[in-house]
Amino acid sequence: MFIPGRLISYFLLSILFLSSSAVLAQSDPRNVIEPSYDVVLQLVIGTDDKSAGQSLPQNLSSVVKQLRGNYSFADYRLSNTYLGRLANGGSFEFKSVATIFGRGAESETPSFLDWSLQSLRAAPNAAGRTDIAVGFRFGARVPIRVSTREEGGKQFPVFNYEPIGLNAGRVTLAENTPTLLGTLSLPNTNNTMFVVLTFKPA
C-alpha cells in the first residue's frame, strides 16, 4: 500500500510533538510533588516551682541548656506538644482549647490556642543541610482575674480573656533542630512560656 510522503511526515511530527510534551510535563516544576514536613510545636514553662518534677523530652536538652544560660528559673516543664504536617510551599492553621496553666480542658477558665505557619520554603544551605523559611504566628487567649463578685454570700473570681502572642513574618530554622522562637510572660504567675518549633521531613 502506498503511503504519501506528506502523511508520513505529519505522522512523525505528531509523535515527536507528543514525546516532547511528555518530557516537558515531567520537567515542569509545577508538576513536581513537593516534600512534606512534620511540624512539632512545644511549649516549655519556666517556673520556680520544682514540685511539678516533670522531666523534659530528650530533644529539648539543647533548648533547655540555652534557657538556663539566660534565665534563672528553678525548673522547666513541658506544657504541651502540638503536631501538624504541611508541604513545601504550604500553610497550616491550628486552633484548640489549651492547657497552658496545667489545667484540663474541663476547667471553667481554659485557655484558647491559635497558631499558624505560612508559605513554608525548604532549601539547602551553604553547608549542604536543609534550612526552612516560614512565616509563624502564635497566639493564645488566657484568663486574667480582674475582680470578684458575691453570690449567695460567697465570693467568686471574675476573669477577662486577654490575648498574648508573637508574630514572626519570616524566620529561618534548621531542619530537625528544635528552635526557640520567642518568650511570653504568663499572667497571674511569675512563669514564662517558651515557644519551640521543630521541622522534620515526613
Q: Which residues of the chain have pLDDT under 50?
A: 2-3, 12-13, 17-18, 21-25, 104-106
Q: What is the pLDDT of residues 89-133, one digit of tens each?
A: 889 999 988 877 655 444 567 888 999 999 999 988 888 888 999
Q: Report in angstroms the alpha-carbon separations of 143 from 44, 137, 147, 163, 195.
A: 19, 20, 12, 9, 19
pLDDT score of 67 = 93
E strand segments, the chain: 36-47, 75-87, 92-98, 111-124, 130-151, 154-174, 179-185, 192-201
Q: Give the global pTM.
A: 0.75
pLDDT of residue 30: 58
3-state secondary structure of 50: coil
Which pLDDT does position 28 carry in this prediction? 55
Contacts of 60-63 spanning 24+ positions with Cβ under 8 A: 60/178, 60/196, 62/178, 63/178, 63/179, 63/180, 63/194, 63/196
DSSP letter string, 53-91: -PPPPGGGHHHHHHHHTT---SEEEEEEEEEEEEETT--
Of 69, 70, 67, the residue nearest 45 (C-alpha): 67
